[in-house]
């Protein structure tokens, strides 16, 4: 992702503003498309009911009722809240064809989406999302 400000998104900050807003690790994943280590993220195994939002801009992205256990090392969802909440970018890095998932509001890297892996989900998709890209707001009990 270019370090320059882009007007393509509703939330637009300069690279320096993102660096000031995010921790070093958050910046690397959200703004430079790094990947956090597997099985270390705070939301990998959580069962808390609520909404997962973009850690960079606060846009609501996923609900806990679409989260499922995939044993892949990162939180997995079978669908975003709505199709316009995320954007999809063809990713041919690392010698494979993948589809990157970004926040549609700010362009931050969230993870990747995979299809046809055989999980018992309504969409046959696995949104493999970095915990560090998300913030969970529990539903009031």
Per-residue pLDDT at 140 = 86
Neighbours of 25 (CB within 10 A): 12
In a domain, residue 10? The reply is no
Give the pLDDT of the chain (141 residues) as one tens digit per residue: 444 445 688 899 999 999 999 999 999 999 999 999 999 999 999 999 999 999 999 999 999 999 999 999 999 999 999 889 999 998 777 677 889 999 999 999 999 999 999 999 999 999 999 999 999 999 986
In a domain, residue 3? The reply is no
Instruction: Pull the structure tokens for residue 38.
Output: 């597997």
As annotated, the active-site residues are 128
What's the domain count of the chain?
A: 1
In a domain, residue 119? The reply is yes
Burial readout 31-55 (b: 16 or more C-beta within 10 A, e: otherwise) = bebebbeeeebebbebeeebbbbbb
In a domain, residue 5? The reply is no
Start-to-end C-alpha separation, the chain:
39
In whole angstroms, give the CA distance from residue 90 to residue 106: 18
* CATH classification at residue 20: 2.170.150.20
Range of the domain at 60: 15-138
Per-residue pLDDT at 122 = 95
């Amino acid at each position: 992702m270019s370090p320059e400000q882009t007007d393509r998104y509703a939330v637009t900050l300069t690279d320096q503003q993102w660096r000031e807003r995010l921790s070093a690790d958050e910046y690397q994943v959200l703004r430079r498309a790094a990947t956090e280590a597997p099985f270390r993220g705070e939301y990998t195994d959580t069962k808390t009911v609520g909404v997962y939002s973009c850690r960079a801009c606060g846009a609501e992205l996923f609900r806990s009722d679409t989260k499922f256990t995939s044993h892949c090392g990162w939180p997995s969802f079978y669908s975003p809240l709505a199709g316009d909440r995320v954007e999809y970018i063809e990713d041919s890095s690392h010698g494979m064809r993948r589809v990157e998932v970004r926040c549609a509001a700010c362009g931050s890297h969230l993870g990747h989406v995979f299809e046809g892996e055989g999980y018992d989900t309504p969409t046959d998709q696995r949104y493999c999302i970095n915990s560090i890209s998300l913030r969970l707001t529990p539903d009031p009990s």
